[in-house]
Amino acid sequence: MASSIARFTRRDFGRAVGTGLSLSLGSRALSSPRQSADEGRRIGYAIVGLGRISLGHFMPACKMSKYSKVIALVSGHRDKAEKTAAEYGVSTGNIFNYQNYEEIAGHKDIDAVYIALPNSMHAEYTIRAAKAGKHVLCEKPMCTSVREAESMIEACKTADKKLMIAYRCQYEPTNLHAVQLIGDGKLGKIQVIESANGFNIHPHEWRLDKKLAGGGPLMDVGIYSLNACRYLTGEEPVHVEGYSSVVDHDGRFEQVEENLSWTMTFPSGAVAACTTTYGANTGGWCRVHGSKGSLTLDPAFAYQGIHLTTDIRGEPPVDDPEQAKDPAQFATEADEFAQDILQNRSVKASGEEGLRDMKWMDAIYKSAGITTA
């Protein structure tokens, strides 16, 4: 009956965290928003690449954020950049192209860059930003190879600049609630995790070009399932097996896989089975089964509408839908990194976190017989 359902809301979750509860992610802590930085200081972001995710999500998020603002643009299309600059109050003197990108070094109002370019360009523009003395928030996947990821980390360390990978779900309250329930032992011993994420891709997308994308759906949307299995369990896999296929021989998948499934085994004995595809609209969801019950995130990785439900023996059901609307997750992400910079604190979704996923994706691809960069 509906009256028997305990609706554990985000407000309740905030109170719980406020009383001292913590959420584990391996050796890191996932928590509610940490102590605020100086209210009068906002981090100035240079947006590198004016594509769908920048214009449709991250930049609008900066308008609603507390500690972030768009201060500069980097684009290969001057007309587009000038139109966007007018909308965001960006000075025309803070519009750069890919050739004069290094000139951001001379602009002290630019604290950090947000890199939203095709995957194969992430490493180059992260390294160039670090050398220009700027912090880096880079979209996922971190890059296209383990070697590139290591170079990005080294460049930022050498420049003493912070590097964050845009794993927004690691900061999203509904996902954090799931981590809390698992960490508190509500599900008992975790046995099995299932996850899927996929969509039917249109022809001619840059994501179908291996030189730009580095791989197919695993690099693009499958990484959400991979990362979720890691942060939900707080464990690193000890073994992976991958399998790939192409069903639709329509010209789209001449360079990248169409379907990929993989399994993972964790030190605790828990196993995970994940799938990702460019050939079907599977949605993005995750289900965790424990000895006492299960929880489901469906959707788990969307820009809005994430929904957590539980079926746990001896516990009232949880029904926790995300209340915030897009682009709130991006605002949280931008502000978390801004506060990392302002307070000089460690970054949760760090370059090292991105490197771990790069290594596991490389292992999955090799197991599936797919050549990587």
Instruction: Annotate the chain with three-state secondary structure.
Output: CHHHCECCCHHHHHHHHHCCCCEEECCEEECCCCCCCCCCCCEEEEEECCCHHHHHHHHHHHHHCCCEEEEEEECCCHHHHHHHHHHHCCCHHHEECCCCHHHHHHCCCCCEEEECCCHHHHHHHHHHHHHCCCEEEECCCCCCCHHHHHHHHHHHHHCCCCEEECCHHHHCHHHHHHHHHHHCCCCCCEEEEEEEEECCCCCCCHHHCHHHHCCCHHHHHHHHHHHHHHHHHCCCCCEEEEEEECCCCCCCCCCCCCEEEEEEECCCCCEEEEEEECCCCCEEEEEEEECCEEEEECCCCCCCCCEEEEEECCCCCEEEECCCCCCHHHHHHHHHHHHHHHCCCCCCCEHHHHHHHHHHHHHHHHHCCCCCC
Query: What is the C-alpha separation between 120 and 49, in angstroms, rounded?
Result: 13
Bridge partners of residue 345, in order along the sequence: none
CA angle, residues 324, 330, 333, in degrees to nearest 5: 110
Determine whether 140 is an active site residue: yes
Query: What is the C-alpha separation between 335 and 326, in angstroms, rounded?
Result: 15
- Report how far apart, in Å, the C-alpha atoms of 104 and of each of 221, 237, 324, 335 are: 31, 40, 34, 21
Q: Which of 45, 114, 167, 224 is an active site residue?
A: 224
Q: Which of 67, 69, 114, 140 is an active site residue?
A: 140
Q: Are strands 283-290 and 190-198 parallel, antiparallel or unpaired?
A: antiparallel
Q: How far is CA 251 from the centre of its chain?
A: 29
Would you name the residues annotated as active-site residues?
140, 224
